[in-house]
Amino acid sequence: MNSTLKVGVVGFGFATATFHAPLIASVPGLALTAISSSDPAKVRAAWPQVDTCESPDALFARPDIDLVVIPTPNETHYPLAVKALAAGKHVVVDKPFTLDAAEARDLIARADAAGRVLSVFHNRRWDADFLTVKQILASGELGRLTHFESHFDRFRPLVRQRWRESGAPGSGLWYDLGSHLLDQALQLFGTPQIISLDLAKQRDGAAADDWFHAVLRYDGLRVILHASALVGDLGPRFALHGTRGSFSKFGLDPQEDALKLGGRPGAADWGVDPRPGTLTTSEGDALISREFAGERGDYSRYYAAVRDAILQGASNPVPASDALKVMQLIDLGLASFREGRVAPVVGLD
């Protein structure tokens, strides 16, 4: 294998056009080589130097492709990844990894048998605000954390004609945004003792869940994960409360909006969040609040780490085993909602 990995991407929908193609192209050592699409003219208009393939199978059959990226509708992740691994490719699958934990386990076994890197694009590990939360927790300034809220709310009152809102397997906010928030919670706090999930379809004509509220129980800590499509007056993205103070952060990481506008990693202000958080801590009998700007985000770090995992045997930035735990919690959350009970979390893989 050369020092440059040739990358093929399946499909040219929103995820490829907004995230994967520009991020791959920004990382030295990765060459965006081919994209499979039913609309090759659309691909050529955006990426004239990139080859097009008429189907995923044609892409997988190319001997020059080292790494295949699968940012397709969720129900296609598993069958496409099976074919890509069988063709001898390293594979990145967009989140959520699969439709359930059983599919995830099978893909992990196939990747291990093939000796290939299998990674999942949980890019929001590299959000500026999430990195800042990690920094604050590591500092101990909040004391013992007792309450953590992570919201991903938006105001999108009209149901759009797209697979994410169709009611098809893997659609809805719990799969779409819940997978991000669960992965972040696992990174911060590890495996919870119990999960409880409530889901709803709140918009007129909604076919898939567009609201969820999950509670994860830990010793001395409650973690709230929440998302809604009907929040016009946005509250904090993160709210942390501990025995010595609190931290709150409004607004989303700026990278997605920057990518939509044609921005690229490497710009001087890339990943710099224009809205600092507020850190409030106790000093004697007084509470003192101050702005806390925190860390810079950078999604390209994910793909740089995938490159190093394949070429140098470095650590996989998001091993499939991590994504399997997310799928297990998605499954347990759905069971909690269906059965109207809290679900104990026992024996995550």
* CATH 3.40.50.720 matches 5-123+301-317: yes
Q: How far apart are CA 105 and CA 280, in angstroms?
A: 43
DSSP per-residue string spanning 63-130: TT--EEEE-S-GGGHHHHHHHHHHTT-EEEEESS-SSSHHHHHHHHHHHHHHT--EEEE-GGGG-HHH
pLDDT recorded at residue 349:
75
> Which pLDDT does position 2 carry in this prediction?
67
Mean per-residue pLDDT pooled into runs of 10, the chain (349 residues): 89 97 97 97 97 98 98 98 98 98 98 98 98 97 98 97 92 98 98 98 97 98 98 98 97 96 93 96 91 94 98 98 98 97 89
- 16's CB contacts (< 8 A; 6+ apart) are 9, 35, 69, 71
- Look up the pTM and report it: 0.96
pLDDT for residue 3 = 87
pLDDT for 1: 54
What phi and psi, each to the nearest 5 degrees, are found at residue 227? Answer: -150, 145
Domain ranges of the chain: 5-123+301-317, 124-298+329-344
Q: Which CATH architecture has domain 124-298+329-344?
A: 2-Layer Sandwich (3.30)
